[in-house]
Structure 1
Amino acid sequence: MKQMDFQPRGTCSKLIHIELTDDDRVSDVSFVGGCPGNLKGISALIKGMHKDDVISRLCGIKCGNKSTSCPDQLACALKQMN
């Protein structure tokens, strides 16, 4: 099991907690702050997915006029996990 706490930048969420299985599949993701319903939905949808698939789907998503979003920051965090 791999775990990481990631501090996103440029988003309403203040912390992303990520847990991956040994074969790099998402076992749990939780956000502190942000839009609770949307972020719980994203967490549920990506559960069991391989981290590379999550990165390819979420990387580059923007929130309103911001240059990033909570999903984009999640992709950034996953890129850092080895």
Structure 2
Amino acid sequence: MSVYTYKTKGTCAKAIMVELDGRTIKHVAFEGGCNGNLSGISKLVEGMDIDFVISRFAGNTCGPRPTSCPDQLAHALKEAYEAEAKA
């Protein structure tokens, strides 16, 4: 297990750090963004299956933006899992 850092696109948060245990989310931390909301999201998703979280968060938008921090977390989880599978 290692920490994967995803550089976000189009959100206030600048990066998302993800640690997985197979398909289970061990830890999530956001750099920047709305601290209260993002720390709450991090606590909620820890221990959950990535497919469940991706299915719930992918495609969510923030105001006029075509993405959101939860949507970017879905992207981060996909990339982190793919990177771990290649290692």
TM range (shorter): over 0.9
- Which amino acid letter does the alignment assign opposite residue 30 of structure 1? A
Deviations 1:18-46 (A, max 9, x none): 0001x311110000100000000000111
Q: Which has the higher helix share?
A: 2
What's the % identity of the aligned pairs? 51
Q: Secondary structure at the match of 1:31?
A: strand
**2:59 alignment partner in structure 1:** 60
Q: How does 1:43-82 map to 2 (within 5 A)?
A: 43-80=42-79, 81-82=81-82
Q: Report the equivalent of 2:17.
A: 17
How far apart in 2 are the matches of 1:3 and 1:54?
18
* 5+ long unaligned stretches in structure 1: none
Structure 2 unaligned segments of length 5 or more: list them: 83-87
Letter in 2 for 1:17: M
Q: Which runs of 4+ in 1 moved over 4 A?
A: none
Alpha-carbon offset, residue 3 of structure 1: 2.5
For the residues of structure 2 that align with 1:37 and 1:3, how far apart are their CA atoms?
Answer: 22
Measure, in 1, the Cα distance between the counterparts of 2:3 and 2:58.
Answer: 20
- Matching residue of 2:85: none
Paired with 2:58 and 2:2, the residues of 1 have a C-alpha distance of 21
1:61 partner amino acid: N
